[in-house]
Amino acid sequence: MTQELARRSISENLSRWGKVLLGVILAAFLLGYPFVFTGPFPQHLMIRIFLFAALAQAWNILGGYCGQISLGHAVFFGIGAYTSTILLIYWHLSPWLGMVVGVLLSLVATLLIGYPTFRLAGHYFAIATIAVGEIARVLVTNWPFAGGAVGLYVPLLPEGLRTFEFHTTKVPYYYISLLLLLAVTTTTWFLERSRAGYYFRAIKADPDAARSLGIPIHRYKLLALAISGAFTAMGGTFYAQYVLYIDPESVLPLMLSVIICLVAVLGGVGTLWGPILGALVLIPLSEGTRVYLAGMGGAGRAFDLIVYGALIVLMSVFEPTGLIGLWRRIQRALEVRVSYARLAAARRGEQTVRGPGSQ
């Protein structure tokens, strides 16, 4: 109910032109960013934000909308990264095709993983996903064909869109990651409005009720996992082509699964903008604390992580719905002010104040 109110208030306050203007400004900013910030570091930062926003958004489809909390999404990321790299190394297949194969393989994996694990509820499911992730990591670590613990170097090829490798510039990586984020966000947007999205939320709210309503919950959970896993695999291929080196410790660790989930949670699960907001805040925060705080009290003192940990606690305690919740709270506060202003204006018999969007 309050969500509905908040949404309506946005559309009320922003006139249509205001919205269009905002959209244009945002698009111009995103498209122009790499030309304004030409250094590799700001570009790297943005690429990381896009990548993690996309991963968190993909996670959000399963975890946020469907309510199945996975702490093993690194598996799909790893499948994407390893499939394209192995195909490239052994069969010289273009990473773009590798990405497609990776997605297909991750779909197979979602079936294999999802089928048994979806019988589990709540924490049993979450720990089962941890178990699956760790098993995958151990297997790859001991699999010489996939490079084992040594990992795989992506062969250095002439740069270009065809080879999916760029050595002199990060700009193409920037747009590809932006595209990935757009794709997964658009998918989420459609899902939100589709029957499947409605079913997802019903399963999250009350699986038993959903079942009694005749929703085939098992099938829809699998669907959510499949979509989620497919996009995560794409992220994996992107990572491999971006960093050009993969090993089990960097593409399959438990910590990666946790961070993907953390980004979504901090932003606000089950919302379209939550994961993006989460990445926008969390990634610069972790990079920023590393750069600016790591030196405090002497390097190696982990001062940055102290701040990071404390922030996570404060956030979960005081704003458990995530940054989106915080944003809505601010909005509501503004709302109250606006309505007070309206009231005052009406009393003075002046023209009605139309809200900040139209000024």
Partner 1 sequence: MILLQSVVNGVLLGLVYALIAAGLSLIFGLMEIVNFAHGQFLMLAMYGAYWLAVLYGVDPLFSLPLWTIVLFLLGVATYWLIIARVLRAPMLAQIFSTFGLGVFLQSLAQFFWSPDFRLVPSPLVKGRIEILGLFVGIPELVASLGAVIAFALLYLFVTRTETGRALQATSEDREAAALVGIDSHRMFALGWGIGLACVGIAGVLLSNFYYIFPEVGFPFALIAYVAVALGGFGSIPGAFVAGIIIGLVEVLSGLLIGPAYKYLFVFLVYLIVVFTRPQGLFGRY
Partner 2 sequence: MRGTFRRYRWLVLAALLSGLVIPAQLGAGPVTEIKIGAVYPLTGALASTAKLSKDGIDFAVDIINNRYDLALPLAKSEGLPNLGGAKIRVIFGDTQGSPETGRAETERLITGEKVVAVVGAYQSAVTATASMAAERLGVPFLNPDSTSPTLIQRGFKWFFRATPDDDIMSKNFFDFLKDLEKKKGIKVRTVALVCENTLWGTDVCKFERKYAKEYGYEVVTEMLYPARSTDLTSEVQRLKAARPDVVFMASYISDAILYTQTMKKLDFNTQAILAMDAGHVDPAFLKTVGKDGNYIFSREVFSADLGQRKPIVRIVNDMFKKRYGYDLEGTSARSFTAMFVLADAINRAGSTEPSALRRALLETYLTSDKIIMPWGGVRFDPANGQNVLGRGIIVQIQDLKYWTVWPWHLASRDVIWPMPTWRERK
What amino acid is encoded at 139 in this protein? L
Say how far apart CA 347 and CA 331 lie, in whole Å: 24
Distance of alpha carbon 77 from alpha carbon 231, whole angstroms:
9
Question: Of 30-89, which residues contact partner 1 (CB under 8 A)?
Answer: 63, 69
Helix (H, G, I), strand (E, B) or coil at 330: helix
The C-alpha atoms of residue 21 and residue 359 are separated, in whole angstroms, by 13
Min dist CB 45 to partner 2, Å, is 8
> Using CB under 8 A, which residues numbered 272 to 311 contact partner 2?
287, 290-291, 294-295, 299-302, 304-305
In 3D space, the residue among 99, 104, 77, 75 whose CA is nearest the CA of residue 86 turns out to be: 99
Among 19, 108, 139, 142, binds partner 2 (CB under 8 A): 142
Residues 21-80 that bind partner 2 (CB under 8 A): 39-41, 44, 48
Structure token digits, residue 291: 């750069």
Binding at 243: pick from partner 2, partner 1, none (beta carbon under 5-8 Å per type): partner 2
- Rounded CA separation 359/354 (Å): 8
The yes or no reply on residue 143 touching partner 2 (CB under 8 A) is no
Q: What angle do CA 138, 260, 267 make, to 5 degrees?
A: 165
Q: What share of the chain is helix, strand, coil (3-state, %, to 5)?
A: 75, 0, 20
Our finding on whether 309 is near partner 1 (CB under 8 A) is yes
Map the footprint of partner 2 across residues 174-213, applying CB under 8 A: none
For position 14 contacting partner 1 by CB under 8 A, the verdict is no
168 binding partner (options partner 2, partner 1, none; Cβ < 5 to 8 Å by kind): partner 2
Overall size of the chain counted in residues: 359
What is the nearest approach in angstroms of partner 1 to the Cβ of residue 331? 20
Q: Kindly tell me which of 93 and 258 has the beta carbon lying closer to partner 1.
A: 258
Note the residues at the interface with partner 2 (CB under 8 A). 39-41, 44, 48, 138, 141-142, 148-151, 153, 167-168, 239, 243-245, 247, 249-250, 287, 290-291, 294-295, 299-302, 304-305
